[in-house]
Amino acid sequence: MLTAIKTLMGGPLRHAERQRAKDRAEERTYWRQRLERMLREEYCVAMHPVQSDESLLPSGELVASIQQANKTGADVFFASGYRASILLLEDLRDHGFDPRSFERILDFGVGVGRLIRHFYAFAAELHGCDVTEPVVREVERQLGGRVRTKVLTTEPVLPYPDQYFDFVWANSVFTHIPYDKAAGWASELRRVVRPGGCLIVTAYGSNRYLGHLSERQGNRTFKWLEKLTKSS
Ligand SMILES: C[S@@+](CC[C@H](N)C(=O)[O-])C[C@H]1O[C@@H](n2cnc3c(N)ncnc32)[C@H](O)[C@@H]1O
């Protein structure tokens, strides 16, 4: 009787878990193929082996220390990385930028290098910086041959000269920066992008967050966004 109950409960659960794993694997293949096609058709470049090398995967604990636990696991790590990189490339294209012409690129808040690895396909010098030292060390261990790293302090200072980068992005970083530091970091990001270069920053989505902010918090959020968007 007990065995029968176990089978009844275990069977469908195992099936659901297997199905979820299959879905995640399919999603990874889908986004990899889309990125591969985009690189080939729009930029005539091939995907670099690093972009799908599972031996360069950070540990689940390290990923979970800076990201939602649901980003751990090879399938989710790669699928979400491919997808976010496609969004960056689409934004570049929609604003008239060609990543093949970039000399230097910075991933601000590089984390475990989930996104910067997808720019290996381009010739630019790749840079990544972050305030969390263990993740920077992991990027050095995995991608150090190509990605130049810096550990930052929490004070808004970037260790790069003025107008140094053609392209800088900060993906899911300002959502982790205290309000009183955000405007300082925004100014620093503007400082290191060359005139006519490109800066992409993700911010609070109006649908999910802005409605829940108090008026004061909302005003402060817009203050640093204004800092980024005002003409220099
Ligand atoms: C959610 S993770 C995103 C990581 C990476 N951008 C990605 O999309 O995979 C947020 C990252 O921002 C970093 N971070 C937080 N405050 C920062 C700051 N002031 N300067 C640079 N990085 C910061 C964290 O250490 C963490 O690696």
Please give the distance, rounded to the nearest whole angstrom, from the Cα atom of residue 85 to the centre of ligand 1: 16
What is the position in ligand 1's atom list of the atom closest to the CA of 173?
12
* Top mutation candidate among 65, 82, 114, 173 for ligand 1, by most atoms within 8 Å of CB: 173
Ligand 1: which atom is nearest the Cα of residue 107?
6
> Of all protein residues, whose CA lies closest to atom 17 belonging to ligand 1?
131
pLDDT at 3: 41
Q: CB under 8 Å to 156, separation ≥6 — which residues?
A: 181, 184, 185, 187, 188
CA 19 – CA 13 distance, rounded (Å): 10
pLDDT in tens, 167-191: 999 999 998 898 889 999 999 999 9
CA atoms within 13 A on the CB side of 114: 31
The pLDDT > 70 percentage for the chain reads 81
The CATH number given to whatever domain includes residue 122 is: 3.40.50.150
Give the whole-angstrom CA distance, residue 216 versus residue 81. Answer: 34
User: 146 CB contacts (<8 Å, ≥6 apart)?
Assistant: 50, 120, 126
Q: How many domains does the chain have?
A: 1
- Does this model's pTM top 0.75? My answer is yes
* CA 60 to chain centroid: 16
Domain range for residue 185? Answer: 2-229
Strand-strand pairing, 165-170 and 104-108? parallel
Q: What is the pLDDT of residues 29-46, one digit of tens each?
A: 999 999 999 999 999 999
The residues of the chain scoring below 70 in pLDDT are: 1-13, 69-71, 204-224, 226-227, 229-232
Q: Which two tokens stand for residue 148?
A: 């130049």
Q: How far is the CA of 12 from the centre of ligand 1 (A)?
A: 38
